[in-house]
Amino acid sequence: MHVDLNAFFAAVEIRQNPELRGKPVIVGAAVKKGRGRGIVNTANYEARKFGIRSGMPISQAYKLCSNGIFLEPNFKLYEEISENIMQILEKHADRFEQGGIDEAYMDVTGRCKSFAEAKHLAYLLKEKIYEQENLTCSIGIAPNKLVAKVASDFKKPDGLVVVEPHKVKEFLFPLPADALLGIGRKSKVLMEKLGIRTVGDLANCDINKLIEYFGQRAIYYHQAAHGIDDSGVCEEWTQKSFSREHTFERDVDMNDKQRIFDTIDALAEQVHKDLLTYKIKFNFRTVSIKVRYKNFETHTAAKTLLTATDDVCVIKRTAKDLMRYFLQKDKIRLVGVKVSHLVKPKETAIKLLKL
């Protein structure tokens, strides 16, 4: 079962302020009368009628609907509400996996003897979520995660779609190829050039031809197109990196080194705080930075240390060291800091012993 909260950020804002209901609501970066620098997070269905989509520059959204209600996101609130809902879902699953702030997978194989029973459970969950949090969701039920995800996407908002095993191909084949998880814009364009438009086209395409164009990805694509997915609902998840980045209000001249370095220090502090407050105590071995120039050209650089540490000064020093090389080209739009190659302190000690 896959559960997806509909237009989540916008729906929460409307719930908090019912006067907004029926109006186009756009949650995203500050608009600044169309001069804002950022993107749309979520648009409700009224706003989508104007062509507004998540991921779109906020300035473009403003052009499409200057009378819309533009709001900046309140992540803390969304996270709280998300957690409440996830708790409801978790209670009703054999195994449970959160897939982002607004979606989750549930294995209900053990507690539901049939798809009809699963459907019944889904209705119950929708009811509970609506009663407790006054929000709607779409639910997909299928023999595996991949198809359940497509199914929950198929009917929005407030949908419930069941795809029984013998109906999987019938359901998938007419859909556009990028309905499948993992097929994005680039692959879609390339597939169109190959004459592949639907999942059915993809399923019937010669596998060797696919490999020629997509390499190892082709094998996943081909299986996915046939509705095959044996990935389990994964309960345990540990983060593999922590990062923070910042886009400047205005591009920063490379001569303003201090401004860049101060920003890196601040980002390093945040990354460090995220690392320390995570449920598992981790040290890091790799520090990376990210630079985006005025023209959107983006680069990364990384350094792996001999031994793991949790020292914030190491993040700051390494990041600034890596940064120097990039301070001679063009105005800078964004900088970011990341730590990865995370190890538990115990493992660090063993490593040190070996050395």
Partner DNA sequence: TCTGGGGTCCTAGGACCC
Active site residues: 103
Least Å distance between CB 180 and DNA?
7
Instruction: Give the separation between CA 341 and CA 94, rounded to whole angstroms.
Output: 32
Instruction: Give the separation between CA 324 and CA 291, rounded to whole angstroms.
Output: 11
Show the tokens assigned to 49. 């009628």
Least Å distance between CB 124 and DNA?
23
- In the complex with DNA, which residue's Cβ is closer, 245 or 265? 245
Least Å distance between CB 250 and DNA?
10
DSSP for residue 198: B
Least Å distance between CB 183 and DNA?
5
- In the complex with DNA, which residue's Cβ is closer, 245 or 256? 245
- In the complex with DNA, which residue's Cβ is closer, 122 or 337? 337
Contacts of 291 (CB under 8 A, 6+ apart): 298, 299, 300, 301, 323, 326, 332, 334, 335, 336
Is-contact 194 213, C-beta < 8 A? Answer: yes
- In the complex with DNA, which residue's Cβ is closer, 110 or 306? 306
Least Å distance between CB 187 and DNA?
3
Residue 352's identity, in one-letter code, is L
Which residues are paired to 39 by β-bridges? 57
Counting other chains too, the contacts that 228-233 makes at CB distance below 8 Å and 24 or more residues apart are: 228/144, 228/146, 229/144, 229/145, 229/146, 229/147, 230/144, 231/144, 231/145, 231/146, 232/95, 232/107, 233/93, 233/95, 233/96, 233/97, 233/105, 233/106, 233/107, 233/145
- In the complex with DNA, which residue's Cβ is closer, 167 or 246? 246
Residue numbers at the binding site for DNA (CB under 7 A) = 29, 37-39, 41, 54-55, 57, 59-60, 63, 99-103, 149, 178, 181-188, 215-217, 239-247, 270, 274, 285-286, 288, 295-296, 298-304, 333-334, 336, 338, 340-341
